[in-house]
């Protein structure tokens, strides 16, 4: 690569190595970013600001009131002047994510310039790509997957280990486990003003195993915006202020392998929910040993 400070060179490097930017996944682009700019070292805010400066990109914190809606940042580019703006007062992990997210969005039109046959992603698609790219840089796939198993799928523990938000950790879990194991995870948060609990983030990762016996049961798994149901596993964890484990959840018949689920209060305003196939229940052991949940042997209510 001719110059690290030239984003065009980075984009040309990707296009040449993979044939086209479209042939490089966001995991691939993130791996190349870490290799080229970070020397494969774990990223932190200081390093990312240095990388941005090296690339001729100015990183600026601005008052949240100047940001439209609920966005955490944006970028602008005029000729050779490039700026990334983040919400001043945001968490460190939030600022890191914003810098990487905007970097990925910033290079999308450059891909189109260096590769004439490339069709640039549309607005919604590039936004999703930028989310995946940022997560892949901050939480490298192989090492993160190892930590998932080491912690027993403990969202709170992973959040502390990586100093990242529980929501980012949860969504990344779904990405790195996809195609490997059946996994469903969710986060419920308390609206203190209305004293209600609502599911704010969720992810799923089917194992692609046709014998998993959970396909067609989508309604069983809560999705974003759903309130906690009375008598549900999450409701039990909230009321008892203690992690609750269901060792067997029957889906269709007594012959089903079934599911295992663990609801774990992280603090007074958040509860995580993790669901695996019952045959994989031993994977939760590190978390179970740590939080010592109330065990519910049979369960016939909603998650």
pLDDT tens digits along 48-80: 999 999 888 999 998 877 777 778 889 998 877
CA–CA distances in Å: residue 183 to residues 142, 261, 277? 17, 10, 8
Of 303, 263, 266, whose CA–CA distance to 190 is shortest? Answer: 266
Over the chain, what is the mean pLDDT? 88
Does 3 score more than 60 pLDDT?
no
**pLDDT, position 210:** 43
Does residue 298 or residue 226 have the better pLDDT?
226
How large is the average pLDDT for residues 236-245?
Answer: 95
**pLDDT, position 2:** 53
HSE toward the beta carbon, residue 62, CA cutoff 13 A? 17
- Which residue is listed with tokens 């596993």? 233
Does 301 score more than 80 pLDDT?
no
Kindly list the structural domains of the chain, giving each domain's residue range(s) and its CATH number in brackets, ordered by start.
7-138 (1.10.10), 154-296 (3.30.450.130)
The alpha carbons of the chain give a radius of gyration, in whole angstroms, of 21
Q: What is the pLDDT of residues 118-170, one digit of tens each?
A: 998 998 999 999 999 999 999 999 899 999 999 999 999 999 999 999 999 99
CB 190 within 8 A of CB 233: no
The CB density around residue 48, as the number of other CB atoms within 10 Å, is: 23
How large is the average pLDDT for residues 27-36?
Answer: 95
User: Given pLDDT bands bounded at 50, 70 and 90, which one contains residue 219?
Assistant: low
Structure pTM? 0.86
Does 7 score more than 90 pLDDT?
no
Q: What is the pLDDT of residues 78-117, one digit of tens each?
A: 877 889 999 998 999 999 999 999 999 999 999 999 998 8
CA 146 to CA 124: how far, in whole Å?
Answer: 31
């Amino acid at each position: 690569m001719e110059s690290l400070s030239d984003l065009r060179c980075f984009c040309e490097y990707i296009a040449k190595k993979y044939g086209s930017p479209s042939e490089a996944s966001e995991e691939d682009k993130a791996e190349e970013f870490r290799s080229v700019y970070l020397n494969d070292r774990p990223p932190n805010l200081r390093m990312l600001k240095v990388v941005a400066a090296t690339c001729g990109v100015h990183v600026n914190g601005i008052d949240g009131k100047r940001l439209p809606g609920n966005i955490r940042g944006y970028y602008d580019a005029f000729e050779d002047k490039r700026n990334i703006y983040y919400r001043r007062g945001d968490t460190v992990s939030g600022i890191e994510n914003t810098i990487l997210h905007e970097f990925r969005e910033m290079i999308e039109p450059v891909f189109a310039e260096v590769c004439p046959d490339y069709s640039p992603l549309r607005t919604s698609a590039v936004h999703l790509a930028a989310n995946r790219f940022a997560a892949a840089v901050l939480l490298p796939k192989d090492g993160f997957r190892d930590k998932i198993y080491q912690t027993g799928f403990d969202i709170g523990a992973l959040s502390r280990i990586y100093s990242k938000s529980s929501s980012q950790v949860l969504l990344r879990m779904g990405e790195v486990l996809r195609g490997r194991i059946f996994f469903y995870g969710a986060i419920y948060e308390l609206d203190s003003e209305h004293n209600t609990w609502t599911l704010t983030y969720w992810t799923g990762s089917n194992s692609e195993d046709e014998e998993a016996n959970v396909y067609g049961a989508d309604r069983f798994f809560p999705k974003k915006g759903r309130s906690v149901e009375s008598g549900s596993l999450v409701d039990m964890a909230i009321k008892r202020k203690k992690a609750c484990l269901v060792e067997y959840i029957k889906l269709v018949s007594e012959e089903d392998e079934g599911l295992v689920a663990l609801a774990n209060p992280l603090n007074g305003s958040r509860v995580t929910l993790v669901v695996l196939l019952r045959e994989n229940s031993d994977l939760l052991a590190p978390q179970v040993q740590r939080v010592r949940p109330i065990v519910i042997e049979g369960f016939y209510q909603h998650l």
